[in-house]
Amino acid sequence: MKEIKVENLFQYINPMKLNTEPAIALASDGKETNGLTIGWAEFGRLWRKPAMTVYVHKARYSKHIFDGADYYSVCFMEPEQKNVLGYFGTVSGRDENKMKNCGLTVLEEDGVPYFAESRAVVICRIMGRNDFDAFSCDDGVKEWYLKDGVHTLYHGEIIKVLVKE
């Protein structure tokens, strides 16, 4: 893969299409690595840095790994990798070793895991995390949180963007 400037990222991915073109977020806490399919994210600038925020729900196995991690990567896959997106989005690391069973090649960039088969990878350093405040949102949003807890937001500084050569 080759590195590109952060400001050119949207030539390769469309942030408004994550609902139909989700990605896989990967993190390692030094003991375990796991990934989950994500359809929610925000891009922009935070604290004068190029930033990406991902939302990991408390019920996800990945949550404790993201809590123990300093970095995460977000891997945007090719359309023909739909089955892998389905796998990471329906099976939990609680039940099987997804990293081993997924059939993808795990590489590292600055110690951060990512998939070699990705079409674009955003590498983030975690600047901050906070739990979503489900009390001060409108009813449409509240509906998401009636059952089993909230998402934690991981605010990442985008430190590198890699794309397929």
Ligand X SMILES: Cc1cc2nc3c(=O)[nH]c(=O)nc-3n(C[C@H](O)[C@H](O)[C@H](O)COP(=O)(O)O)c2cc1C
Point out which residues bind ligand X (CB under 6 A).
Answer: 22, 34, 36-40, 55-57, 60-62, 89-94, 151
Is residue 127 within 8 A of residue 46, CB to CB? The reply is yes
Is residue 125 within 8 A of residue 157, CB to CB? The reply is yes
151 versus 155: smaller Cβ distance to ligand X? 151
1 versus 29: smaller Cβ distance to ligand X? 29
CB of 131 to ligand X, least distance (A): 13
CB of 93 to ligand X, least distance (A): 3
CB of 60 to ligand X, least distance (A): 3
60 versus 155: smaller Cβ distance to ligand X? 60
Cross-strand partners of 120: 76, 163
Q: How far apart are CA 67 and CA 129, in angstroms?
A: 8
CB of 66 to ligand X, least distance (A): 9
Which residue of this chain has its Cβ atom nearest to ligand X in the complex? Answer: 89
Question: b/e per residue, 87-120, with b = 16+ CB within 10 A?
Answer: bbeebebeeeebbeebebeebebeebbbbebbbb
CB of 165 to ligand X, least distance (A): 27
- Collapsing DSSP to helix, strand or coil, 66 comes out as helix
56 versus 123: smaller Cβ distance to ligand X? 56
Residues 33, 39, 42, 43, CA torsion sign: positive
49 versus 57: smaller Cβ distance to ligand X? 57
Q: Which DSSP category does 111 fall into?
A: T
